Amino acid sequence: MTASYVIAVTLALVIAAIFAPVIWNGVPSGGDDDPSVAVITLRGGTTDANVNAVKQDLREARTNESIEAVVLRVDSPGGPVDSSEEFYLAVNRTASEMPVVAYVEGTAASGGYYGIVPADEIVVKPSSNVGSIGVIVQAPLSLIEQVEQQGETFVRSGPDKAQISKDGLREDIEVLQRSFVGTVMRHRGEQLTLSREEVANGNTYLGAQATQNGFADRIGDTELAIERAAALSDDIEGDGYDVVYQGSGGAEFNVIIVPAGAETVQGANNVTYLVHPDDSETTFREPVKYYAVWGIPADDNNATVIRND
Amino acid sequence: MTEGRIVKPLAVFIVVLVAILGGTFLLAVVNPGSSGPPDGQSIDGQSPSQYQPDAVNAPVDPEEGQISVDAEARGQRILVDTSHGNQVSESELEPIIEAVFEAGHTVEYGTAGTASFADSLGQYDGVLIVQPLGSYSEEERDALQEYTDDGGRVVVLAEPTQTRLSTGFTQSTTTVSFGANNATERYGVRMGSEQLYNVDDAANDNNFKAIYASPSGDGELTDGVETITFDTAGYAVVNGDAETKFTAADGTRTLETRRTGTYATVVRNDNMVFVTDSTFIRSSEIYDADNEVFIGNLLSFLLDGEAPDPGGAASTDPGFGAGGDTSTPAGTPAESTPSPTPTPAPTPSGS
């Protein structure tokens, strides 16, 4: 009789021990004793995957009560305009709730800079590279000429369907450029000694130059950035804070953009081949893609070649 | 009894479990400061002002209007030079040929038959030279000058030195330059060494390379024109008598060396007009800004010329072909030449 009570209580304790943490975590977790500064890292292009990972981290920082400030550690040459805008919006939202200090580990150019522009402060090293404000479009000119001159190899429903024109591309680029430059001017207009036109030139600047022309605020390292973030937070007093490191995006530098779903083979000279084992299916390629990227389109030796085999 | 043996411990089990888990829940809820900010709050700045349509949408120049050619004489003839590696195709000139035709004149593409450029000039009222890559021989330069001295009119559309992508089995890039500086220098104008750009949104047509230019004087070329736009413009270097008719918008700079200045884009020296862009006649640019009015003025200028040797039939000249025409397959021979003065003169012009 007593034994059965012992078993019942033991069983209850064991099951409770399993589920209690779940319940504890299920309820929004409460504040630690010390407030903390979260260090969120983005290394690599501002691609969909990298930006989404950072967005998750930023969201975590916003919802976690103990995190009172964020250091955004960035080494990114930018990427597609759409995901770079996502990056910006996520950081902008976080910066509206708590201090955000950006630390430029290597490069924060183009889309990489787009994301850190709402930060309260930007910390750079002498070798940090910032700037390159602008947009490029990846569309082979031969394709444009082809479409303009003999676009009638397929039946279309309207005159603009499945067409690209140089004029149209220029208009689109202008729109994206204006929102990019407008964003930089809105957030850093007061610090910048450069005019809107000079910003729109798309130059890159090394750390020392950047702190002088207003692209960055001070020279320092991660520790300084953490210190600054803590100092800017009203909820952190002195050095009574913890530092939490969150995530670190995978390094994805020499990005070759390949249509989703295509099988790729790495060849000599950095050539990426798209293999189309099934010839019967018509494939459409995204005709143009807009990039906020520090770099130039890969040349012939670095090109994407479509191969059939 | 057996029921009680199972039920009681079970009851104890349930009570203990509920007590522990419920206590945990209560503790977690009661724990001070445990409620984070709700994720649904509205955040200022997530529809930022710099993203709104007013801030980003670039006004597009209306592509409207028409090319009106206004020439006093009727039945004038214009020659389009094709014998100097000219970077122009017949299809690109179609809108222009159309406008000229509508006004009762003709455009001939390349010299007829085997006539050389120099020998056949005299029978045309105007000559249009688009971006020649080849240079003009001594004989041709003399002929051209004599031609304009005698009342013929010449319009030269030049391009700044630029890289061109040639497509085919393999893609390659080549640098192409305006090749007729030796001919235009006689008129006190030559092509500048660089392209122009302007990053001021108010001074370009949606791209830093597509600059605006505006008249810097009066005259038939600038009549009714406020702004013209050039896709890839260069600048003209002027000396002597040549008169600048259009200059690039304020703040325009050279692409390589970033020098600001007042850059001449259309220059006239008596019967010769020099334009530092050749792309504005393409169908995608022709109606941008006031380009169509300017093109009309240019054509009227050409048609107001007077053929020095209207009867000169060059077809009898057994010369050296069309002067090494390599530019376009559709080049020579030109379409039928409905000459306004059909009497064939047996002797070619002596020029």
Contacts 24+ apart (CB under 8 A), A58-63: A58/A90, A58/A91, A58/A93, A58/A94, A59/A90, A59/B39, A60/A246, A61/A94, A61/A98, A61/A246, A62/A93, A62/A94, A62/A97, A62/A98, A62/B37, A62/B39, A63/A28, A63/B36, A63/B37, A63/B39
Which residue range is the domain that position A60 belongs to? Answer: 33-136+171-246
Sign of CA dihedral B169, B171, B175, B178: positive
- Give the pLDDT of residue A71: 96
Cross-chain Cβ contact A12/B32 below 8 Å: no
Chain A CB contacts of B50 below 8 Å: 179, 182-183, 185-186
User: What are the structure tokens assigned to A259, written together?
Assistant: 């249509």
Confidence label for A297 from pLDDT (cuts 50, 70 and 90)? low
Residues A111-156 have pLDDT tens digits of 999 999 999 999 999 999 999 999 988 766 656 665 555 555 677 7
* Rounded Cα–Cα distance for residues B93 and B78 (Å): 12
Answer yes or no: is A222 within a domain: yes
Answer yes or no: is A16 within a domain: no
Nearest to B34 among A12, A30, A62 (CB): A30
Angle in degrees, CA B171, B176, B182, rounded to 5: 160
Of B218-222, B291-295, B332-336, the one with minimum mean pLDDT is B332-336
- Give the pLDDT of residue B322: 41
Looking at chain B from residue 257 to 316, which residues have their Cβ under 8 Å from any Cβ of chain A?
Answer: 284
Interacting residues of B66 by C-beta distance below 8 A, sequence separation 6+? B99, B292
- Give the pLDDT of residue B257: 92
* Rounded Cα–Cα distance for residues A296 and B113 (Å): 48
Residues B105-124 have pLDDT tens digits of 999 988 766 778 888 888 99
Please tell me the total count of domains within chain A.
1
Cross-chain Cβ contact A27/B36 below 8 Å: no
Cross-chain Cβ contact B199/A141 below 8 Å: no
B38 interfacial to chain A (CB closer than 8 Å) = no
Answer yes or no: is A221 within a domain: yes
Percent of chain A residues topping a pLDDT of 90: 48
Q: Is the per-residue pLDDT at A260 higher than 70?
A: no
Residues B31-89 have pLDDT tens digits of 654 455 555 556 666 788 888 888 888 777 778 888 888 877 888 999 999 989 898 88
- Give the pLDDT of residue A249: 47
- Give the pLDDT of residue B46: 77
Residues A2-40 have pLDDT tens digits of 777 888 888 888 888 888 777 776 665 544 568 999 999
Nearest to A179 among B24, B34, B51 (CB): B51
- Give the pLDDT of residue A183: 95
- Give the pLDDT of residue A265: 57
Give, in order, the Cα–Cα distances in Å from A297 to each of A85, A250, B109: 20, 22, 39
Percent of chain B residues topping a pLDDT of 90: 41
Query: Which residue, B34, B16, B150, B77, is CA-closest to B334?
Result: B77
Gap from A46 CA to chain B (nearest CA, Å): 19
Q: Is the per-residue pLDDT at A83 higher than 80?
A: yes
**Identity of the residue numbered A2:** T
The helix (run of H) or strand (run of E) holding residue A204 is: strand A204-206
Answer yes or no: is A117 within a domain: yes
Cross-chain Cβ contact A186/B50 below 8 Å: yes
This complex has an ipTM of 0.70
Q: What are phi and psi of B260, to 5 degrees?
A: -90, 165
B175 interfacial to chain A (CB closer than 8 Å) = no
Answer yes or no: is A272 within a domain: no
Which CATH number do you get for residue A234?
3.90.226.10
Residues B187-225 have pLDDT tens digits of 999 999 999 999 888 888 888 889 999 999 888 999 999
B13 interfacial to chain A (CB closer than 8 Å) = yes
Q: Which has more pLDDT, B201 or A72?
A: A72
Q: Is the per-residue pLDDT at A1 higher than 70?
A: no
Chain A CB contacts of B36 below 8 Å: 28, 63-65
Termini Cα distance of chain B? 135
Answer yes or no: is A268 within a domain: no
- Give the pLDDT of residue A222: 93
Gap from A216 CA to chain B (nearest CA, Å): 21
Answer yes or no: is A196 within a domain: yes
List domains and CATH numbers for chain B.
77-166+173-304 (3.40.50.880)
Confidence label for B321 from pLDDT (cuts 50, 70 and 90)? very low
Taking residues B277-298, what's their average pLDDT? 90
Confidence label for A308 from pLDDT (cuts 50, 70 and 90)? very low
Gap from B176 CA to chain A (nearest CA, Å): 17
Contacts across the A-B interface (CB distance below 8 Å) = 136
The arrangement of strands across the sheet holding A289-293 comes to A78-80, A289-293, A136-138
Answer yes or no: is A197 within a domain: yes
Q: If 0-12 CB within 10 Å is exposed, 13-18 middle and 19+ buried, where does residue B166 land?
A: exposed
The residue of chain A nearest to residue B92, with distances taken between CA atoms, is A149
Chain B CB contacts of A92 below 8 Å: 45-46, 48
Termini Cα distance of chain A? 76
User: What are the structure tokens assigned to B47, written together?
Assistant: 């529809």
DSSP H helices, B113-169, are 117-120, 138-149
Confidence label for A161 from pLDDT (cuts 50, 70 and 90)? confident
- Give the pLDDT of residue B330: 41
A293-297, A301-305, B299-303, range with greatest mean pLDDT: B299-303
* Rounded Cα–Cα distance for residues B290 and B296 (Å): 10
- Give the pLDDT of residue B245: 94
